[in-house]
Amino acid sequence: MAASQFLFATGIENSNPTIQNGRLRVDELEKCGHYKLWQKDFDLVQELGIEFLRYGPPLHTTWTGPGKYDWSFADETFQDLHRRNIVPIVDLCHFGVPDWLGNFQNPDFPRLFAEYAGAFARRFPWVQLYTPVNEMYVCAEFSALYGWWNEQLASDQAFVTALKYIVKANVLAMHAILEVRPDALFIQSESSEYFHAANPAAIKPAELLNAKRFLSLDLNYGRRVDSDMYEYLMDSGMTREEYHFFLDNNLKHRCIMGNDYYQTNEHRVRADGSTTASGEIFGYHTITTQYYERYRLPVMHTETNLWQGPLGDEAVNWLWKEWANVLRVRNDGVPIVGFTWYSLTDQVDWDTALRENNGTINPLGLYDLNRNIRPVGEAYKKLVSQWRQVLPAQSMCLQVPVIMPQECGEPWAQKKQAAARKAERDPSAAPANAPLESAH
């Protein structure tokens, strides 16, 4: 079992959407130098004392066609993670798909992506933790509502189309992975948002946006949406049959709800429904508590960061603020199992949400792009060493049952997988394990 009680993590940024009507691929692994420096990057993870890494192979070069894969880079990197006994939280789709697949309007995406997920799980059977599709809501929003990435559409119809295919792909991928690794656990990484009404006339638009922010997780976890959102989905092209797929196929009992929180996650809403950034008003504790009360799942803080500003301590202060919020959530009785500073190194062009190819370095990482540690990296290393034995929700009983990579083949680990497979296939317990229906 993992030595740490708590899943302290970082991530290697692997976004790869297309922009300029599909002519340009924004490959963050390339921009941040990971293809050349991946061994050094894994060294840095170990230097920090971190055992958990949000990481995934580049989808657009690994998945070369239906049922066709180029595993060369994944084989090298994942073999090295296994050797180091670092637990990857495998991020299979991060904001982009291969050119041959088109974009998130493609109705074949869910089925084909599930095949890819199953193929990955068969190739790397020691991998247990997955984020099949990263930030499903943001991916659909930026691609099909704001018109920034991939299909670059801007309509409710396009947004709902992207969302239903993205979430269905996530659900089918979880099923495909469980066929191979029956004790797999799925950590959603989803943006946690809140919308504040700027004036009384903005209350209704803000209420609608505060309902809409839950759509990806409602569908993923098989939770009935409220009546406003049901009408919105139906009016925007979802069919009743498509809606019922999510109610009937969820795997909520295999999930950890990952909440991402940045200063940009809270918004001020005007009377016409348009929004502007509000900065941090409620903060991670309040908003995560709202999400927990809705879904009643173990929680992980799966992304946060802040620019290292002119004083050099802005990111350090934000780290301590987020960690204080994590402890507050935990002390209120919410089972919170992990924390992530995202990402390991600085990023490139996120100041324009990857819409422009300027090569602007964003000083958000634990290390800069020369792989020199930043003050927040030193602070995080210290935090991990001091707090690594913290218990999720103050109970030994509520630990995540993680099998370390090098223990996957042990007889006791094989027994656990066999027991998980048996439990998954026992239909008699299904009604009791299903999500509770909420009255709306």
Please give the average per-residue pLDDT across 16-20, as a whole number: 98
Instruction: Kindly report, residue by residue over 268-277, the tens digit of the pLDDT.
Output: 999 999 999 9
60-79 pLDDT, tens per residue? 999 999 999 999 999 999 99
**Which residues, 6+ apart, have CB-to-CB distance to 395 below 8 Å?**
none
The residues spanned by each domain of the chain are: 7-433
Non-local CB neighbours of 421 within 8 Å, separated by 6+ positions: 182
- Cα–Cα distance, 402 to 380 (Å, whole number): 22
Give pLDDT, residue 253: 95
330: three-class secondary structure by DSSP: helix
Instruction: Give the Cα separation of 176 and 19 in Å (integer).
Output: 30
The rounded distance, in Å, linking the Cα atoms of 345 and 32 is 7
Bridge partners for 130 per DSSP? 90, 186
* 305-341 pLDDT per residue, tens: 999 999 999 999 999 999 999 999 999 999 999 999 9
Kindly report the CATH class assigned to 7-433: alpha beta
Q: In this structure, what DSSP letter does residue 173 have?
A: H
* Phi and psi angles of residue 386, each rounded to the nearest 5 degrees, phi first: -80, -35
pLDDT in tens, 186-234: 999 999 999 999 999 999 999 999 999 999 999 999 999 999 999 999 9
Range 159-181 average pLDDT: 98
Mean pLDDT of the chain: 95
At residue 114 the predicted structure's pLDDT band, cuts being 50, 70 and 90, is: very high
How far is it, in rounded angstroms, from Cα 140 to Cα 162?
A: 5
Share of the chain above pLDDT 70, in %: 98
- How deeply is 207 buried, as exposed, middle or buried, from its count of CB atoms within 10 A (0-12, 13-18, 19+)? middle
**Tell me: the pLDDT tens digits for 277-293?**
999 999 999 999 999 99
What are the φ/ψ torsions at residue 293 (nearest 5 degrees)? -65, -25
DSSP 332-372: TT--EEEEEEE-SB-EESGGGTT-S----EE--SSB-TT-P
Confirm if 60 and 102 have CB atoms less than 8 A apart.
Answer: no
344/293 Cα distance (integer angstroms): 31
Question: Which stretches within 53-194 are classed as H helix?
Answer: 59-62, 72-84, 109-123, 136-144, 156-180
Tokens of 214: 């839950």
Contacts of 100 (CB under 8 A, 6+ apart): 64, 65
Question: Residue 230: its pLDDT value, please?
Answer: 98
> How far is C-alpha 264 from the chain's CA centre?
17
Q: Phi, psi (5° rounding) for residue 361?
A: -80, 130
Please give the radius of gyration of the chain, using alpha carbons only, rounded to the nearest integer: 21
Whole-angstrom distance, CA of residue 129 vs CA of residue 122 = 14
The pLDDT of residue 4 is 63
Amino acid 440: pLDDT: 41
Joined together, the tokens standing for residue 387 give 């707090």
Is 225 in a helix, a strand, or coil? coil
d(CA 130, CA 93): 11
Average pLDDT over residues 284-303: 98
| Residue 335 · residue 321 · CB < 8 Å | no
pLDDT of 393: 83
Predicted local confidence at residue 2, as pLDDT: 46
Take residue 394 and report the two structure tokens written for it: 């103050």
pLDDT band at residue 427 using 50, 70 and 90 as cut-offs:
confident
Helix, strand, coil percentages, rounded to 5, for the chain: 45, 15, 35
Secondary structure (3-state) at 416 = helix
CB neighbour class for 259 (10 Å; exposed up to 12, middle 13-18, buried from 19): buried
User: Do 256 and 188 contact (CB within 8 A), yes or no?
Assistant: yes
